[in-house]
């Protein structure tokens, strides 16, 4: 695992100097980004809970985990099993992990090529407003997508980010003592056929798309990780990050 800094001079995709708004901020919030690479969902879930307790105890600043997962289906608090097109046993037989979790939302699918982010943020520093936080996460992802030429938007009444009538990012969070956990999934280069095992948050699997599918070119995951971190800094007013190793 790598803790890496995102400075005020960080920039997003070409033509989108995401760090400029951060540099202009009067008051900047300290934060850190934990870049894990590709790690199984269960391991990262345990790490989230550890960091959640550390954030509640004010032992760490706001933290954004960035990671890719091997194939896994998660079922949120809605627990609408009708949106599972395969049983948990059948999923595991195909090498797809399955977890029931405490986040908002319904069935989601994660796999390599999808950037998953878990913001462990204390909302007492961000207006004590859960809806505002969710809109902020969507705004950060929209900023990344628009900078590479994709006209992205949020849809009233639906969590996540859309390009036209296709969904490119999902969102589902949980909250404990004003600190957020769980988060978002941005489809970068994921194999979209994997979504056939669920109805993603109640939608037909064909609604899902990815950056590579829409741009019709390769998109480097490393660059997307940097762009997402820079856009989070811009949207949430983060300053220069404290570098931590553990």
CATH number of the domain bearing residue 51: 3.30.930.10
Measured distance CA(64)–CA(4) in Å, rounded: 11
The residues facing 67 across adjacent strands are 116
Cβ-contact 112, 190 below 8 angstroms: yes
The residues facing 175 across adjacent strands are 180
- The owner of tokens 């900023």 is 143
User: Is there a domain that residue 61 lies in?
Assistant: yes
Catalytic residues: 201
Structurally, the chain folds into a number of domains equal to: 1
User: Is there a domain that residue 246 lies in?
Assistant: no
Assess whether pLDDT exceeds 50 at residue 22. Answer: no
* Rounded mean pLDDT, 53-71: 97
User: Is there a domain that residue 178 lies in?
Assistant: yes
Q: State pTM to two decimals.
A: 0.86
The residues facing 79 across adjacent strands are none
Q: Average pLDDT, whole number, for the chain?
A: 86
At 5 the pLDDT is: 39
Per the structure, the complete domain to which residue 160 belongs is given by: 2-70+112-164+171-195+221-236
pLDDT category at 27 given cuts 50, 70, 90 is low
Closest CA to 46 of 70, 73, 65, 71: 65
Cβ-contact 101, 183 below 8 angstroms: no
- Residue 46, judged by CB atoms within 10 A of its CB (0-12, 13-18, 19+), counts as exposed
Where is average pLDDT lowest: 4-18, 60-74, 159-173, 213-227?
Answer: 4-18
pLDDT category at 23 given cuts 50, 70, 90 is very low
pLDDT category at 159 given cuts 50, 70, 90 is confident
At 18 the pLDDT is: 42
User: Is there a domain that residue 78 lies in?
Assistant: no
Measured distance CA(82)–CA(106) in Å, rounded: 10
At 144 the pLDDT is: 98
At 24 the pLDDT is: 39
Measured distance CA(111)–CA(190) in Å, rounded: 7
Give the model confidence (pLDDT) of 68-97 as tens digits: 999 999 987 666 677 889 998 999 999 999
Helix (H, G, I), strand (E, B) or coil at 44: helix
């Amino acid at each position: 695992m790598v803790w890496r800094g995102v400075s005020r001079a960080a920039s997003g995709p070409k033509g989108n100097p995401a760090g400029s708004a951060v540099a202009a901020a009067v008051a900047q919030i300290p934060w850190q980004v934990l870049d894990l690479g590709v790690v199984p969902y269960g391991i990262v879930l345990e790490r989230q809970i550890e960091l959640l307790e550390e954030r509640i105890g004010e032992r760490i600043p706001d933290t954004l985990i960035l990671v890719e997962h091997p194939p896994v289906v998660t079922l949120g608090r809605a627990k609408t099993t009708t949106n599972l097109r395969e049983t948990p046993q059948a999923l595991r037989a195909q090498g797809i992990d399955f977890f029931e979790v405490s986040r908002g939302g319904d069935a989601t699918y994660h796999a390599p090529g999808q950037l998953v982010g878990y913001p462990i943020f204390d909302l007492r520093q961000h207006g004590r407003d859960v809806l505002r936080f969710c809109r902020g996460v969507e705004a950060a992802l929209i900023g990344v997508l628009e900078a590479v030429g994709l006209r992205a938007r949020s849809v009233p009444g639906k969590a996540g980010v859309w390009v036209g009538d296709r969904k490119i990012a999902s969102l589902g969070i949980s909250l404990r003592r004003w600190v957020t956990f769980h988060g978002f999934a941005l489809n970068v280069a994921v194999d979209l056929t994997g979504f056939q095992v669920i109805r993603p948050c109640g939608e037909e699997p064909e609604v899902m798309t990815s950056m590579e599918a829409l741009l019709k070119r390769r998109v480097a995951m490393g660059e997307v990780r940097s762009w997402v971190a820079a856009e989070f800094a811009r949207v949430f007013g983060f300053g220069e990050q404290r570098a931590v190793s553990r």
